[in-house]
Structure 1
Amino acid sequence: MHLDLTDLRLFIHIAEAPSLTQGAKRAFISPAAASVRIKALEAQLNCHLLYRGSKGVELTDAGQRLLKHARLIMRQIGYLKTEFAEYGTDSSGHIRIFANTTAVTEFLPEVLAGFLAKNPGVTVDLQERLSRDIVRGVQEGATDIGIIAGPVAAKDLQVLHFSTDRLVLVVPKGHVLDTGEPLKLRDALAFHHVGLQEGSTLQEFMREQAEKLGEHLTWRIQVTSFESICRMVEAGVGIGVIPESAATRHSRTMALSIVQLDELWAVRERSILVRQLEALPGCIRALISILRPEAIDIHSMPSSGG
């Protein structure tokens, strides 16, 4: 079997369009030529990859499997090109990161600012994703690394723990829940909550915890950051669940009280997810070494290209 990289790249474009015409346009070939290439690829693999319809195309089960492998192959080709673009250096390349809400809003901006300032040849694509999408993205090669909080059920990935945080409840000073004693989530469900916007990982996580109790959270308002949550809480709009690191920082300048949650799930282990650490380009390993210095010595481990 001989798979052409041009065909794999075309197939990815079509799958992501999802239209043969649009995919062909992205690949800079005619729709007719694209159709011939896809039919030849299907013949080589002896299976149908696409359902063709008037509104576009849809992947078959075989097409879904090929898309996963094609993305991994093209990602590895990208690594190879990056490594040899400036042989022997870790100061150039492109890094794609899928991360949860806390990582995107709390600590990654500062970490990436320092990293990018020291490595002007590196670019980063940072996307906030739900936990399940982060895991799947690393598995399928849609992202180079994932940053997640909580347990990870993925035996085919390397999980590098790098810090621990807790979820806590923030309430206004003097609130009825401001007793100095830990409480259960159930005790807080009777009050209006201030939370993050729909689609955030923390928002989805808290909704799941309430549903496990047979209850639901009543959102008074949903905002875009932990700082905004704290300002709303300080103003008496409601109460909110946020990471303790953010709560501690904002409580220094706002009239807030931090209430510990007596829940096992409140302890959040932060982890970096990768498929194979040793196969990553030097620039990605360099970033991981900043997030988790004990996880990797980029100078002593074998390089994937230089």
Structure 2
Amino acid sequence: MINLNRFDLVSLRLYVAVVDAGSLTAGAGRFGISLAAASKRIAELEQHCGFTLLQRGQRGVIATANGQVLHRLAIEVVARLEQLVLEIDDLRTGAAGHLRLWANPSAFGGFLPRLLSAYAEQHPDVRIDLEDALSEDAVRAVQKGVAELAVIGDNVPCEDLETFACNVDHLVLLVPADHAMADAQSVRLERVLDHDLITLARTASLTRKVMAAAEGLGCAVRIRVQVRSFDSMCRMVACGLGLAILPRAAAVLYAGALGLHIVALEGLDVQRRLLVAMRSRALLSPAAAALVDMIERDLAE
């Protein structure tokens, strides 16, 4: 039997960092220790487990089959440890709980601010840690225990996570007031793809949705500018740098202020579903569970 007392939480956390970075050097740097110290800790962990954890090569390291199992289980341990630390800190500071939420730009530009305002009013003593991130990054944050909840696009892989739909919006086209399509009731995607587009990063779930629709039509997407927020997208459109496809809720926020026109889209699935993702509902902290309950009540009304 393995002696549990010999399992070092510091080494487990380091191992997760190394595998995630794909490099012993990068993992050590993220952890703030020397390469020699990191190598020694990983070697001791391998000796304690009784098998090789990392396959080393010129381009870095990857986990062996056994190492992948340990990585998955270590993430669970590290996530619970971080939650323990946060809850102890909340007790020490008098906070009633800690909500750790990552959400994508569609959530920030749509339903999330109103929801969190109501949540903060009902739970004034809960500390809210909120991160604006791409859906893929938000998924990784939940998988690693950095966040308890994430709001993501419905076309994002989220293995091992529980999800449910929390919001539905529709994609629209945003154009300058003097554009040839400004007065149209609707336009087909093929016509839109003849123009330069302002998008989020290519890895963003919204951008990938548009690119997948374009590929289905046999068209290319002419991305002129990639930005990190809907605010920046709309400002680029207002400056005449291109057109933008984004959720209606976000478009409405900026169209009037920037003198832009909203045009309906045809030729693609314009429905945009957002999901709440979590590692396990049964393991949610009271603060996170309260937000999930609030979202479900809103959906039922």
TM range (shorter): 0.7 to 0.9
Shift of 1:62: 2.8
| Kept in 2: contact 1:157–1:276 (CA 8 A) | yes
Shift of 1:208: 2.8
Of 72, 82, 87, 1:68 maps to 72
Q: Does 1:286 align with 2:286?
A: no
- Secondary structure of the structure 2 residue equivalent to 1:183: strand
Equivalent residue letter for 2:75: R
Alignment of 1:91-240 (within 5 A): 91-93=96-98, 95-97=100-102, 99-104=103-108, 108=112, 119=124, 122=127, 124=129, 126-131=131-136, 133-135=137-139, 137-139=141-143, 141=145, 143-151=147-155, 156-173=160-177, 175-240=179-244
CA displacement at 1:245 relative to structure 2: 0.7
Task: Select which of 37, 48, 51 maps to 2:52.
Answer: 48
Aligned length: 292
Q: SS in structure 1 opposite 2:269?
A: helix
Shift of 1:276: 1.3
Alignment partner of 1:59 is 2:36: no
CA contact (8 A) 1:196 1:223 kept: yes
Distance 1:161 1:29 in 2: 44
What is the match of residue 23 of structure 1? 28
TM-score in terms of structure 2 length: 0.76
Partner of 2:263: 259
3-state DSSP class of the match of 2:186?
A: coil
Which residue identity does 2:162 align to in structure 1?
A: Q
| Residues 113, 29 of structure 1: alpha-carbon distance in 2 compared, 3 angstrom cutoff | farther
Structure 1 residue 216, shift from structure 2 partner: 1.2
Q: Flag the 1:178–1:38 CA change in 2: closer, same or farther, 3 A.
A: closer
Match of 2:14 among 1, 5, 10: 10
Whether the aligned pair in 1 keeps the contact of 2:96 and 2:126 (CA below 8 Å) is: yes
Secondary structure of residue in 2 paired with 1:187: helix
For structure 2, list consecutive stretches of 5 or more residues without a partner in the other structure.
none
Deviation track 1:136-156 (CA, whole Å, cap 9, x = no partner) reads: 554454542221123566574
Q: CA deviation at 1:70?
A: 0.6
Unaligned runs of 5+ in 1: 297-306
The one-letter code of the counterpart of 2:250 is A
Contact 1:10 1:27 (C-alpha < 8 Å) held by counterparts: no
**1:103: how far off?**
2.3
Structure 1 counterpart of 2:83: 79
Q: Distance in 1 between matches of 2:242 and 2:294?
A: 37
Quote how far apart the aligned CAs of 1:214 are. 1.8
TM-score under structure 1 length normalisation: 0.75
